[in-house]
Every structure is written in structure tokens, then in C-alpha cells.
Amino acid sequence: MDEKSVLVVLAQGCEELEAVTCIDLLRRANVEVVTAGLDRNPVVASRKTTLIPDTTLDEALKRSFDMIVLPGGLPGADNLAGDPRVIGLLKKMAKDGKFTCAICAAPTVLARAGILSGKRATGFPGTLDKMNLPDVTYTGDAVVRDGMVITSRGPGTAMDFALVLIETLVGRETRDLVEERLCR
């Protein structure tokens, strides 16, 4: 099986629990994870944890990935939504049949890119469900997969979200092995 690759985009003010949980669990599953900042600066997350991205988004855009993951948090999700490169990449990945995934407030970025149209999705209460999206079914569930789109509710669902990402990319057996080694 080809090694799967995931791009995790880190914006200033992202939710560090969501970012680090996804990065950590995907790497435990032997998935290649590349973290990219919107610029060359360290990312100061919402709880003031400093994260050092592997590369910049401009550099990451030079290659392809099987999946993109957007951590939420505020103003992290707003910073992602305000970056035309992020919106363009989401649209391209969706068009190319790649996975677009977001947690917490970040599903609003998928909505702004038009990716949630006709889909079931979830997000942090008061974010996605408050947008005027008549063609999106907001579920409020912990994790929702609808086709090539995976969304999750928030920091408390980050581990479940990451496990679904693993299962989606590399199968149930690997997901179960990673989960077992976490002593859940």
C-alpha cells in the first residue's frame, strides 16, 4: 500500500489540542504528516502553546496530499478562512477527490470554500450551525463523514476525529492498533 500523506495547516490562534492530537495519532499510524504554517513564523495557538510548522503553506502547495486537516480554534479558523491559498487548496482537493477534513470552528472554512454544500457536517456549537447554510445538514455529532468530507465537533472529540482519519486513510486494523496502544 502506498504511504498516505496528510497536510495539517496551522494558523495563528489554532486550537493546539486538536492540531497536536491529529498530528500525533496520524504519525502513530505511520501516515506521513506535513504541518504547514501560513507564513514562516512559529504558530502561537489559542492557549499560547507555540507550534513550529514543518514548512510553509507556499512550500506545501508544491506537492499533493491525500488529505488536508484544518484544526479549529479562534482566531485560527478565521485566519484559515481569510487566506485565499487555503480556500483554493480546499477547492482543488475536493475537485480532485481528496479528503477535506476540519474540526471545531474550522468546518466554517470548508463551508466558505463551498465544500459542505449538500453534505452532513458538524462543528463547534454556535459556529457552523449558525451560518446561513440551507444546503448543509448540521448534525451536532462528535464526528461526521459524508463522502470525502470529515468534520468534528471540538477539542473533546479530537481523538475520535483522529481515529476516524486513520481508519479512512489506512484501514480499521491500523485504527484499532493505534487505539489499543493508547490504552483507551
**DSSP string for residues in 125-149:** TTTGGGS--TTSEE---SEEEETTE
Domain boundaries, the chain: 5-174
Please report, in tens digits, the pLDDT of each residue of the chain (184 residues total). 579 999 999 999 999 999 999 999 999 999 999 999 999 999 999 999 999 999 999 999 999 999 999 999 999 999 999 999 999 999 999 999 999 999 999 999 999 999 999 999 999 999 988 898 999 999 999 999 999 999 999 999 999 999 999 999 999 999 999 999 998 7
What is residue 129's predicted lDDT score, i.e. its pLDDT? Answer: 82
Cα–Cα distance measured from residue 83 to residue 126, given in angstroms and rounded to the nearest whole number: 22
Which CATH number applies to 5-174? 3.40.50.880
Q: Do 175 and 9 form a contact (C-beta atoms < 8 A)?
A: no
Cα–Cα distance measured from residue 115 to residue 93, given in angstroms and rounded to the nearest whole number: 10
Identify whether 14 is a catalytic site residue: no
| Sequence-separated (6 or more) residues with CB below 8 Å from residue 173 | none
Q: Which of 14, 22, 101, 104 is catalytic?
A: 104
What is residue 61's predicted lDDT score, i.e. its pLDDT? Answer: 98
What is residue 2's predicted lDDT score, i.e. its pLDDT? Answer: 79
What is residue 183's predicted lDDT score, i.e. its pLDDT? Answer: 87
Report field, pTM of the whole predicted structure over 0.85: yes
